[in-house]
Amino acid sequence: MGIWDKRDDMVVHESEPYNAEPPPGALVDQVTPLDTFYGRNHGSFPQMDTGSWRLRVDGLVDRTLELSLDELQRRFPGQTLVATLQCAGNRRADLIEFRDIPGQVPWGPGAISTARWSGVALADVLAEAGLSAEAAHIAFAGADVSQDADPPQPFGASIPAAKATSSEVLLAWAMNDQALPTAHGAPLRVVVPGWIGARSVKWLQRITAQAEPTDNYFQTEYSILPPEADPHKAGPGDGIILGPVAIHCAILRPGKGAQLPTGPTEVTGFAFAGDERTVARVDVSPDGGSTYVHAELDAPENPWTWQHWRATLTLPPGETELIARAWDSTAAVQPESPATVWNPRGYANNSWARLHVTCHA
């Protein structure tokens, strides 16, 4: 437990700053319980006093706003949305197996979770401030100072104005119908559905409309460098800046290394397509990719959430590799192996889900 209020069996990669994911197989619910939701932090939790806290909205706007939580709640229509958050570093561990990535959290497949978020639409707050024609990007600044940044600075991000004014982007003060926990950004955080988690800034203090993307360290840190680049020497323009999440899937059951009896075996998991895409199909193989069946796939609750799936397979006797691979609604597919997508900071590993099990005759 502790101040982050998580279940005892979280896989804790770091306790300060707190970085932890739920144990393998835990993400079976459509909405993840608060104590199971992964936590990703670049600095210590900041001290926030909700009473004196104000959200400042400034930059290329007609009117600068200073809003208390109470004013936000009273002046704008309330919105609730179920949305999945996925860290760009999810499944870095599989990239590390192919080639080492020093100094980065070795996330397994659990740096992804789904919550019912409540708050107001960012679009409504921006409309109240009045965006100037030159306001092409909306920048967010949190209150936590990260020593991982060069130089140390508060965590921040920006998204294009077109995304920021889409109705799904929320300023949230509640998660699963409870007050937003400190660990997840209380009193207020941004939720940018369908985009990497790093753009959903917690402990939000300031929103700035500007002509260019933010120069915050983390905006360009979350980018894909070419394999030969040195991440410590790379400049802001050297990588592909990450935004929308690529089609991805995970196997929940059976677990890695499971010993199974012969006969039909139920395999379950989830898949997630970022941005406005949905998951269109999931193929599951019982035999390392020789044959595939189509999984039964849940309909999307909305475009912003993962979709769970299940398939009944007949496994060959002995050790075998289970594979799952998803297709999204634009017919984009997952790459076959971590080797294809390896990059020096270890982001966006969306290669096929694979795990070995043994079937006893």
Looking at the Cβ atoms of 241 and 293, the one nearer to ligand MTE is 241
Looking at the Cβ atoms of 221 and 283, the one nearer to ligand MTE is 221
**Minimum distance, C-beta of residue 238 to Mo ion, in the bound complex (Å):** 20
Does 126 participate in binding Mo ion (rule CB under 5 A)?
no
Looking at the Cβ atoms of 132 and 176, the one nearer to ligand MTE is 176
Tell me the window of 98-106, 195-203, 210-218, 335-343 that interacts with Mo ion (CB under 5 A).
195-203
Q: Which does 38 bind (CB under 5 to 8 A by kind): ligand MTE, Mo ion, none?
A: ligand MTE
Q: Which does 39 bind (CB under 5 to 8 A by kind): ligand MTE, Mo ion, none?
A: ligand MTE
The answer to whether the beta carbons of residues 87 and 195 sit under 8 Å apart is no
DSSP 140: E
Residues 6+ apart with CB under 8 A from 113: 22, 27, 32, 36, 37, 38, 84, 85
The answer to whether the beta carbons of residues 334 and 247 sit under 8 Å apart is yes
Looking at the Cβ atoms of 222 and 327, the one nearer to ligand MTE is 222
Looking at the Cβ atoms of 56 and 281, the one nearer to ligand MTE is 56
Nearest to 303 by CA among 68, 80, 44, 82: 82
**Minimum distance, C-beta of residue 184 to ligand MTE, in the bound complex (Å):** 4
**Minimum distance, C-beta of residue 104 to ligand MTE, in the bound complex (Å):** 11
132-149: b (≥16 Cβ within 10 Å) or e: eeebbbbbbbbbbebebb
Q: Which does 119 bind (CB under 5 to 8 A by kind): ligand MTE, Mo ion, none?
A: none
How many other β-carbons are positioned within 10 Å of the β-carbon of residue 289? 15
153: three-class secondary structure by DSSP: strand
Q: Which does 142 bind (CB under 5 to 8 A by kind): Mo ion, ligand MTE, none?
A: ligand MTE
Binding site for ligand MTE (CB under 6 A): 37-42, 85, 87, 142, 144, 155, 184, 197-198, 200-203
Looking at the Cβ atoms of 39 and 187, the one nearer to Mo ion is 39
Residues 6+ apart with CB under 8 A from 107: 13, 21, 87, 89, 90, 91, 92, 93
**Minimum distance, C-beta of residue 271 to Mo ion, in the bound complex (Å):** 19
Does 87 participate in binding Mo ion (rule CB under 5 A)?
yes
Looking at the Cβ atoms of 21 and 283, the one nearer to Mo ion is 21
DSSP 127: H
Q: Which does 210 bind (CB under 5 to 8 A by kind): ligand MTE, Mo ion, none?
A: none
Q: Which does 254 bind (CB under 5 to 8 A by kind): Mo ion, ligand MTE, none?
A: none
**Minimum distance, C-beta of residue 142 to ligand MTE, in the bound complex (Å):** 3
The answer to whether the beta carbons of residues 89 and 347 sit under 8 Å apart is yes
Q: Which does 18 bind (CB under 5 to 8 A by kind): ligand MTE, Mo ion, none?
A: none
Lookup result for tokens 């079937």: 359
**Minimum distance, C-beta of residue 346 to Mo ion, in the bound complex (Å):** 11
Does 198 participate in binding Mo ion (rule CB under 5 A)?
yes
d(CA 232, CA 145): 20
d(CA 290, CA 287): 6
**Residue from 6, 40, 92, 206 binding Mo ion (CB under 5 A):** 40
**Minimum distance, C-beta of residue 14 to Mo ion, in the bound complex (Å):** 13
The answer to whether the beta carbons of residues 329 and 280 sit under 8 Å apart is yes
d(CA 285, CA 276): 27
d(CA 9, CA 220): 33
Q: Which does 200 bind (CB under 5 to 8 A by kind): ligand MTE, Mo ion, none?
A: ligand MTE
Does 197 participate in binding Mo ion (rule CB under 5 A)?
yes
